[in-house]
Chains A and B, each alone.
Chain A
Amino acid sequence: MSTSEFDSVRPPSPPGGRRGGRRRRGGAGGNVGADGSREMPMVPDVEFTSYYGRPVVKPAPWGEEIAAYLFLGGVAGGSGLLAAGAQFTRRPRLRRNSRLAAIAAIGLGGVALVHDLGRPERFLNMLRTIKPTSPMSVGSWILSAFSAGAGVTAAIEFDRMTGERLPLGPLRRLLPVVDGAAGMWTALFAPPLAAYTAVLLADTATPTWNAAREELPFIFVSSAALASSGLAMVTTPVAETGPARHLAVIGAAVEFAATKVMHRRMDPVVAETLHHGKAGTMLKWSEVLTVAGGVGALLSGRHRLIAVASGVTLLAASALTRFGVFEAGIHSAKDPKYTIEPQKRRLAARRAAGITDDSITTVG
């Protein structure tokens, strides 16, 4: 509560203030969050008060590296799956390119993750324990397992490309077996790699991410599928990318549908964060590019140029989805409105339904 009758005797406020969204110590002067009169014009039907407009929950201290990792991890996971499919259906160029894409994407993604840690030199502490309640812990193990498989398959491709120059000696006889097993291993951990990041975001008190918990896994795996397929359409001749095009179309369709469901099901106030500001712009463009890329993939057939253009479009769509969802969440944590209003609403709804024993506020 930062409104009172005494606000009128305070010095006038600087113009442009709006309820919420102001940062603690965010401005230049010492008058930040000072003046309650900015809180006065309230939406009449919503009982919303806050402590000087300051956030209730704290946003994750994550930079854009994490958003980039969401994208790169998806590309890696999808590519691992495509490589395995290509391996079993004997599409050597799709297999080679997807394997190289997987190791490149997961390598870059891993670097981004470590770089974003507060203490990068302690990154191995991630593997200190296996903790099912921590999506970050589970994800670290998935990432490690996937990277091991992707590393082996990429080394085998490197060996092939350089004319079997790797000094393997008598072990070379084992190579076909290792090739198959490592491909399977990578494919096994590819879908979890694409999906766990959704749980990582949803299992937080960040309003937008938590509210998206039902649909976010589907959005993220679809985004991974269409991005990796898009990359394959760019790198690989059309003769071998038939499955990638199909996967891109399925991914685009599912992502489009899952996003619509998410918007409809989410608390209307929290859903604002997906429509407004930078995140809103990114997610709008992501939707447009997803549809465009999906249609392009459907129609490109044997036209290499259309395939490349569609692939680039799909990659951009996926990146925008990830950055948009990331940004929307960070924004939602910084404005107390997105924490307090939905919580008050759900509490009131439970009380209206006769459930009065689970409130944190009691009188006895």
Chain B
Amino acid sequence: MGQLSGPTNPTADAHWADPQPRKGFFTDTSICIGCKACEVACKEWNHNPRDGDLQLLGSSYDNTGSLGASTWRHVAFIEQGHDRIEQARESGRALVGLGMPGVRTSASAPISGAAASSDVLPTTALSSRPTIPGPLDTTPPDTAEFRWLMSSDVCKHCTHAGCLDVCPTGALFRTEFGTVVIQADVCNGCGTCVAGCPFGVVERRDDGTYATNGRPGAHPDVPNTRIAQKCTLCYDRIVEGQTPACAQTCPTTSIKYGDHDDLVVQAKQRVHELHEQGMTEARLYGANERDGVGGIGSVFLLLDEPEVYGLPPDPRVPTADLPRMYSRAGLAAVGMIAAAALSFLTGRRTGRGR
């Protein structure tokens, strides 16, 4: 058992004899086009069955809904107007002002310049970027009037994974790549991991879950029913040196796969780049190893607050507080013994049998 919170190397914590570099995703939502090829590739490779009854959910172009037992990649669609874009830009800029590590030194000067220019020219904020060098402007035409946010969500493969910590059978384990995988032949479907995940990723594939309850017309020949399911970061592919199906298929390289540490560096460079272009709404999600889950394996670049994408704004792995919970429970148990002892001592007068 390694530590329960804070920065650490999860692969080393799991005592692998020959730990590999930690693998992960960097999902850059600023270049996601919402094609859902990742969803399809994931389903095909992992033999995941149909999820639901092919209903139209009416939420923009998202008819998948959310991550679940049979959906390990989920593309979110959010439509936003001018005001909301400005809000996102402000909240991203506020993150810089907080003095977070890493950004102020290199990016603060260009940001203020770009912010000023976007105030002056609201409709052409992005096309008039005086700070970008280079002879040819290849950025696609943009508008400040509306935008679509598209983001391919996936299991976060947390440094401190709530699902893994609370699994009673050992069905969930930490791979040599630092990812978190469920062994389908060990899981007995207790469902604790479903509640243990602070991101709502894991789900039990059955009729007992709230999302699939009473769903008519179940898909025939569904494999691995009634056990917990989630993204494996294509464990079966990465052990062979292959790229996970979603990253392999992504046509815009919005989903990048590689060594986690490299991806974090790449992500930080990308967010600097976007801030320099005046897109102060850009921010990273999960690149901070001091956050509540010790950093995540699947880092995201978002263009608005996390909750806009259905991500928790301040997740904390429940197990971080487990020692405290055990001590409270121990205190309660001792109290129960004391109360019983007191009761039998004071209750002595009322009479005896035999």
Contacts and interface: CB of A to CB of B under 8 A. Distances in A.
Interface in A242-270: 242-247, 250-251, 254
A290 interface: no
A59 B191 CA distance: 9
Given A217-B329, A246-B346, A250-B339, A56 B195 contact: no
The range of chain B's interface size is 35 or more
Given A54-B66, A90-B353, A125-B169, A119 B324 contact: no
A361 B322 contact: no
A58 B203 contact: yes
Contacts of A134: 165-168, 192
Contact of A49 (B58, B170, B215, B307): B307
A246 B227 CA distance: 45
B257 interface: no
Interface string B251-288: 00000000000000000100110010000001111111
A360 B288 contact: yes
A126 B171 CA distance: 10
Contacts of B92: 363
A225 B340 contact: yes
Nearest to B291: A360
Contacts of B223: none
Contact of B332 (A5, A132, A218, A243): A218
A117 B204 CA distance: 10
Given A90-B353, A118-B190, A364 B328 contact: no
A129 interface: yes
Contacts of A51: 76, 78, 307-310
B318 A196 contact: no
A351 to B, nearest CB: 6
Given A1-B80, A133-B322, A364-B100, A240 B314 contact: no
Interface in A114-169: 116-120, 122-123, 125-126, 128-129, 131-137, 139-140
Given A118-B191, A218-B335, A361-B95, A205 B162 contact: yes
A167 B333 CA distance: 37
A136 B195 CA distance: 12
A303 interface: no
5 contacts: A1-B305, A51-B307, A54-B310, A195-B336, A362-B288
Question: Sorted from nearest, which 3 A-B pairs have the closest CB atoms?
Answer: A118-B189, A34-B58, A364-B103
Given A61-B203, A205-B197, 14 more contacts: A30-B58, A32-B58, A51-B78, A56-B307, A57-B195, A61-B191, A61-B208, A91-B353, A136-B168, A200-B192, A238-B350, A247-B339, A351-B98, A357-B288
Interface of A: 1-6, 23-25, 30-35, 48-52, 54-63, 78, 81-82, 85, 88-93, 116-120, 122-123, 125-126, 128-129, 131-137, 139-140, 190-192, 194-196, 198-200, 202-206, 209-210, 213-214, 217-218, 220-222, 224-225, 238-247, 250-251, 254, 330, 333-334, 336, 339-340, 343-344, 346-347, 351, 356-364
